[in-house]
């Protein structure tokens, strides 16, 4: 599918999943029928994480971008396997996801919240790559443990492979984006009805 209308800039992943785990899966898509991976470099992963609200911690040092790319792609594959297995009613093996979760080390810390009170926050203590990917791994685990999987879906357009978590009130969302795939479906139906009318 052509994703340009959904992205912040060319090459960026569309954030249409309504859940970080869905947006993680959407970093692999299809454009004009050809599989695409919006993560070609570690910089691509950092840009995606930043758009998600996760950025390298100040003073954390340089991130090994090749390692980040490899581990991010592995996390995505572990997530895909577990989510697809869950949708098929099968028990997936969580060992791969757990490896990412176990690498995400942190300790609780009490900090002032700016309103005169306190907030309990988690301070990451692991390596830089695990610290960046840890919140995404937790989002995947949270989806698998807590989500209503009847609301985990893929876009119904036959040329689209994007995922989403249906948070609509009616739970009848069908498209990754009404502006793109929904309109493409409407246009195809309109053309088909005109052809049928002309044939009559």
Of 26, 20, 12, the C-alpha closest to 135 is 20
24, 27, 188 from 198: Cα distances, Å = 45, 42, 15
pLDDT at 3 over 50: no
Contact yes or no for 71/100 (Cβ under 8 A): yes
**Gyration radius (Cα) of the chain, Å:** 20
pTM to 2 decimals? 0.81
Contact yes or no for 97/137 (Cβ under 8 A): yes
User: What domains, with CATH codes, occur in the chain?
Assistant: 4-97+134-199 (1.10.3300)
- Rounded (5°) CA angle 49-55-57: 150
Contact yes or no for 26/16 (Cβ under 8 A): yes
pLDDT tens-digit profile of 113-123? 988 899 998 88
Helices 42-52/65-87 angle, 10° precision? 60
pLDDT at 82 over 60: yes
pLDDT at 171 over 60: yes
DSSP state of 22: H
Q: Measured in whole angstroms, how far is the alpha carbon of residue 29 from the centre of its chain?
A: 11
Which has more pLDDT, 178 or 94? 94
Two tokens, residue 24 = 């993680």
DSSP readout, 128-143? HHHHHHHHHHHHHHHH
In this predicted structure, what is the pLDDT of residue 166?
94
pLDDT at 112 over 50: yes
Phi and psi torsions of 44, nearest 5°: -60, -40
């Amino acid at each position: 599918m052509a994703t340009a209308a959904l992205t912040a800039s060319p090459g960026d992943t569309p954030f249409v999943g309504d859940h970080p785990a869905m947006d993680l899966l959407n970093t692999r898509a299809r454009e004009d029928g050809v599989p695409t991976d919006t993560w070609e470099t570690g910089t691509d992963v950092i840009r995606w994480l930043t758009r998600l609200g996760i950025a390298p911690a100040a003073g954390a040092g340089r991130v090994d971008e090749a390692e980040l790319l490899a581990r991010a792609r592995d996390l995505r594959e572990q997530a895909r396997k577990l989510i697809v297995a869950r949708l098929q009613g099968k028990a997936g093996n969580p060992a791969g996801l757990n490896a990412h979760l176990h690498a995400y080390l942190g300790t609780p810390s009490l900090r002032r919240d700016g309103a005169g009170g306190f907030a309990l926050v988690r301070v990451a203590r692991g390596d830089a790559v695990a610290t960046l990917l840890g919140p995404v791994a937790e989002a995947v685990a949270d989806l698998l443990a807590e989500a209503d999987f009847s609301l985990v879906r893929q876009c119904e357009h036959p040329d689209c492979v994007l995922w989403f978590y249906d948070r609509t009130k009616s739970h009848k969302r069908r498209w990754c984006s009404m502006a793109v795939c929904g309109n493409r479906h409407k246009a195809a139906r309109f053309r088909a009805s005109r052809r049928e009318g002309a044939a009559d």
